């Protein structure tokens, strides 16, 4: 120990070496803090200023872009969501966020180096070094996770949202055809056993569901359909057993067997089914989406299940299957995973097709009411993987924002429904004029609820004891079913 050092020690003052070590540690911590908050600032102060300037400008540009997007999202939320949902945008974000994360980590480690750890004490080196490494690993890990999410989103939107639908509203409404496909081992090809049109008010999001039974006969093909020449008087077969012949849900398979009549059409089965349903309902379909039942099961699991009030027990399994009926969904409040929700929606034993349609609408309503943005964000990877099970949709990615906006609005409103089942129609000999009239009446009644006078003037279609002639089994509220109700 030198004379000066010894003198300092005697009066309790730190030596020059101790002070140097402390200064280096504090310098390193301060530079790392600056670098964590404003990447490149440490280099501007104590390192390579060229690198520092570039990093700060990049950081400032990213912050400015983020602020701009937030400001734009306030008045133009649908546009911003649609831009974000573009696969190209997401691929760019996937690369940018990973590069930014790695760059941030390298700048942070360089800030630690600029603090001159060589002159620090062993404890100082450990504290500052571990802190720098932990921050760098955490930042890089977060960037990697975010990059993977962007990649999954890009893949989802690129694979699923193929585009081709009609973006223009139809008399102020957006009509979406929802098809639930079943391609089980006991089936010939994929057939959409669940066929529902959601007619959505393009301003309020108020929705009416129109459900068609799978066993509807004499379904009319529009004049411009390639299958119209084969069945000019509607889809009908003069056979004794109609359990698997010439029914509405068989049109998909019929068109797939005549692909040559649909040159250039990627999904002739969906296209033919859509045309027939448009003809039946008198509605122009904007978009369609078809999901395989196994995809439905995974989707329910991905969002954490749904909760329903079950009005009567529903069997799991089939009397004609290898296992038979091997379980039951019991009455009462039930939180269902994908497996049980799927059986609740599809089960046929000890039931009718019409009751099954009600159960399917309950499940759809539960998904709309119970799915929240937090669930989507925290479980997006699982939802994206499940989403890829969707066979297809012609909703373009730039319209995702519009549909999400409408879904959020509609979530707060009662969902009405019309089921084209007895006594409203007879599936073996349907009155298509009555169906189209019922559609028009249901939409008019739904739109009347959003008129200024709706609160003070009750609708004659729903007034008890009204003298106005009513069609039986017209619009109902999905939440009023005795078979099932959405819980929570």
Please tell me whether residue 210 adopts helix, strand or coil conformation.
Answer: strand
Instruction: Give dist(CA 338, CA 306) in Å, integer.
Output: 8
β-sheet bridge partners, residue 317: 325
Predicted TM-score (pTM) of this structure: 0.71
Cβ neighbors of 335 (< 8 A, separation 6 or more) are 305, 306, 307
Backbone torsions φ then ψ of 212, nearest 5 degrees: -110, 135
Assigned token pair, 421 = 């089942």
**pLDDT score, position 179:** 86
Quote the pLDDT of residue 290: 82
**CB-CB neighbours of 334 under 10 Å:** 19
Count of Cβ atoms closer than 10 Å to residue 405 Cβ: 15
What does DSSP assign to residue 221? P
Q: Tell me how far apart the alpha carbons of residues 130 and 132 are, in angstroms, rounded to a whole number.
A: 6
Residue 205: predicted pLDDT: 92
Burial of 465 (0-12, 13-18, 19+ CB in 10 A): exposed
Residues in the chain, how many?
488
- Catalogue all structural domains in the chain, each as residue range(s) with its CATH number: 15-160 (no CATH), 173-213+267-450+470-486 (3.40.630.190)
**Residue 222 carries which DSSP code?**
P
β-strand partners of 194:
180
Q: How many CB atoms lie within 10 A of CB 72?
A: 13
SS3 181: strand
Integer distance in angstroms from the first to the last C-alpha of the chain? Answer: 76
- The confidence score (pLDDT) of residue 459 equals 43
Give the C-alpha separation, 351 to 421, whole Å.
Answer: 14
Q: State which residues of the chain have pLDDT below 50.
A: 8-9, 184-189, 454-473
Residue pair 279/294 in contact (Cβ under 8 Å)? The answer is: no
Tokens of 18: 């101790």
What the block records as the tokens of 302 is 């991905």
Residues 292-303 as b or e (16 or more Cβ within 10 Å = b): bbbbbbbbbbbb
The DSSP 8-state label assigned to residue 167 in this structure reads -
Position 473 scores a pLDDT of 42
The residue whose two tokens read 């497996």 is 339
**CB atoms closer than 10 angstroms to residue 382:** 16
Q: Is the peptide bond before 423 cis (omega within 30 degrees of 0)?
A: yes
- Tell me, rounded to whole angstroms, the distance of Cα 379 from its chain centroid: 11
Backbone φ and ψ for 339, nearest 5 degrees, come out as -60, -50
Q: Which residues pair with 210 in a beta bridge?
A: 197, 418
């Amino acid at each position: 120990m030198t004379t000066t050092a010894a003198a300092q020690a005697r009066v309790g003052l730190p030596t020059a070496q101790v002070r140097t070590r402390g200064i280096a540690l504090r310098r390193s911590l301060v530079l790392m803090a600056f670098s964590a908050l404003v990447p490149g600032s440490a280099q501007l102060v104590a390192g390579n200023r060229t690198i520092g300037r570039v990093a700060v400008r990049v950081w400032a540009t990213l912050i400015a872009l983020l602020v701009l997007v937030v400001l734009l999202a306030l008045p133009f939320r649908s546009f911003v969501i649609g831009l974000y949902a573009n696969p190209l945008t997401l691929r760019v974000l996937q690369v940018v966020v990973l590069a930014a994360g790695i760059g941030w980590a390298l700048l942070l480690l360089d800030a630690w180096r600029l603090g001159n750890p060589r002159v620090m004490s062993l404890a100082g080196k450990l504290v500052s070094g571990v802190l720098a490494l932990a921050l760098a690993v955490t930042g890089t890990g977060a960037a990697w996770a975010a990059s993977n999410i962007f990649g999954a989103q890009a893949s989802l939107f690129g694979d699923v949202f193929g585009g081709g639908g009609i973006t223009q509203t139809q008399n102020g409404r957006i009509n979406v055809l929802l098809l639930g496909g079943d391609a089980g081992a006991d089936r010939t090809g994929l057939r959409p056993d669940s066929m529902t049109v959601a007619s959505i008010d393009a301003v309020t999001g108020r929705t009416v569901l129109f459900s068609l039974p799978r066993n509807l006969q004499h379904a009319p093909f529009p004049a411009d359909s390639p299958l119209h020449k084969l069945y000019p008087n509607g889809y009908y077969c003069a056979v004794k057993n109609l359990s698997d012949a010439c029914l509405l849900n068989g049109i998909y398979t019929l068109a797939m067997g005549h692909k040559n009549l649909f040159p250039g059409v990627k999904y002739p089965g969906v296209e033919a089914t859509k045309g027939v349903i448009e003809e039946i309902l008198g509605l122009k379909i904007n978009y369609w989406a078809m999901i395989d039942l196994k995809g439905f099961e995974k989707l329910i699991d991905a969002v954490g299940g749904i909760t329903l009030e079950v009005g009567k027990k529903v069997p799991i399994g089939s009397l004609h299957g290898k296992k038979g009926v091997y379980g039951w969904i019991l009455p009462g409040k039930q939180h269902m995973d994908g497996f049980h929700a799927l059986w609740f929606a599809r089960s046929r034993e000890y039931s009718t097709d019409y009751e099954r349609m009600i159960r399917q609408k309950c499940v759809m309503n539960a998904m709309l009411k119970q799915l929240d943005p937090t669930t989507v964000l925290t479980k997006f990877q699982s939802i994206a993987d499940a989403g890829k099970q969707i066979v297809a949709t012609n909703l373009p990615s730039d319209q995702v924002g519009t549909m999400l906006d409408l879904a959020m609005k509609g979530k707060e409103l009662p969902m009405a429904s019309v089921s084209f089942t007895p006594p409203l129609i007879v599936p073996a000999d349907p009155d298509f004029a009555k169906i189209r009239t019922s559609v028009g009446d249901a939409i008019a009644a739904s739109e009347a609820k959003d008129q200024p006078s709706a609160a003070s003037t009750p609708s004659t279609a729903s007034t008890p004891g009204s003298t106005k002639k009513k069609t039986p089994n017209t619009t109902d509220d999905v939440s009023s079913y005795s078979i099932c109700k959405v819980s929570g």
